[in-house]
Structure 1
Amino acid sequence: MMNWKNNKFQIAVLLLLLAILAALIALGIFSNDQSVDSVAYVNLQRIFEKHPARLAAENTLNQKAAEYQQQIESEYADAGGSEQKEIIQKHQEQLQELEAELLAGVIDELLAVIEETAAEKELKFVLEEEYILYGGYNLTESVLERIEAQW
């Protein structure tokens, strides 16, 4: 009778292991989320440098700087020493605010394109290239292609 109990236990363990194996296989086959461990990285500096919105923002900033320069020259001639400093400081602050606003717009657009590209490729994580030591998928070219297609 001892052998029968042992065999019954062995059969139960075998059936349990088969059930676990079947469940794991079913989860692998039927899972819609195949990207649980998918990690990609991008070279933000390269994407930023090639983004057409950055060039447009830079041109806008340069045009505004030229306008401010003309305003400073016309106001500067009629002003005294302390007023001259105030005029220059006022225009510098306005230029810095514009630069921050334009830069934020470019960064927002860049992040949106990265998110769209990652979602299309069913990636869960996208990191900056400089923080990757090993592995991962380089998403930089895909992001640049998407930007080029949109512009």
Structure 2
Amino acid sequence: MPYGKREGLQLLKLEKKQVKLVTVAIALFFVLGIVGLALSQSHLSYAAGASSQSNIGVINEQMVISQHPDIAKVQETMNSEIDQAKKDFDAKTASMNDQEKQQYYSQTSQRLSLKQQELMAPILDKVRSAIQEVAAAKGLTVVLDKSNVVYGGQDITDEVLKKIGASK
């Protein structure tokens, strides 16, 4: 039966590799998720067209979000959540089959995604509020993300950064 033992060890090694791969995938998914959430939130439906003397503003919303004073705390909290999720995943999936592991991975991913949204919501609200206040003070009726503008518009990025208390 030494041949059977060898196959069993190879299968065990394969499962350990799968667990490590899933663990790395979870970490990568959520680190990229923070960036992805911020990017997806920056593309709001705005009217197009601009000139430098118009009532249209432009902003680098991604930069503003990334420089928000609370973003480091969100990232730290998410990193802790991810680390705990990895530990939980490793502990709870040790005796699970592949299908059960996949289901647990999906549940964990969904839970972490909701946590990320929960943590980012106040920051996004503060940034949007600051954008509205700066736009109103400057008489702007439309503000577009800079990535959607080829030419023109009044850049209000620096004013919004000052408003949220970000250090440049």
Match of 1:61 in 2: 78
TM-score by length of 2: 0.57
Q: 1:81-140 deviations in whole A, cap 9, x for unaligned?
A: 432232222211211222233334332221111111222333222222233344332101
Q: Structure 1 CA distance, aligned partners of 2:148 and 2:97?
A: 52
2:154 is the alignment partner of 1:137 = yes
Distance verdict in 2 for CA 1:80–1:135, change over 3 Å: closer
* Mapped contact 2:126–2:164 kept (Cα < 8 A): no
Give the aligned length: 113
Deviation at 1:146, TM superposition (A): 0.9
Match of 1:32 in 2: none
Match of 2:123 in 1: 106
Q: Which runs of 4+ in 1 moved over 6 A?
A: none
Q: Secondary structure at the match of 1:77?
A: coil
Q: Judging by fraction of residues, say which structure has more helix.
A: 1
Deviation at 1:65, TM superposition (A): 0.8
Q: Which consecutive unaligned segments of at least 5 residues does structure 2 have?
A: 1-53
Structure 2 residue identity aligned to 1:93: Q
Distance verdict in 2 for CA 1:86–1:119, change over 3 Å: same
Distance verdict in 2 for CA 1:81–1:38, change over 3 Å: closer
Aligned-residue CA RMSD (Å)? 2.2
Q: Structure 1 CA distance, aligned partners of 2:109 and 2:148?
A: 35
- Percent identity over the alignment is 26
Aligned to 2:87, which of 67, 70, 95? 70
Structure 1 residue identity aligned to 2:162: E
Deviation at 1:79, TM superposition (A): 3.0
Aligned to 1:128, which of 117, 120, 145? 145
Larger radius of gyration: 1
Deviates more, 1:64-73 or 1:49-58: 49-58
Q: Secondary structure at the match of 2:140?
A: coil
Q: Structure 2 CA distance, aligned partners of 1:81 and 1:131?
A: 43
Distance verdict in 2 for CA 1:89–1:39, change over 3 Å: closer
2:110 is the alignment partner of 1:93 = yes
Q: Which consecutive unaligned segments of at least 5 residues does structure 1 have?
A: 1-36
Q: Structure 1 CA distance, aligned partners of 2:103 and 2:85?
A: 13
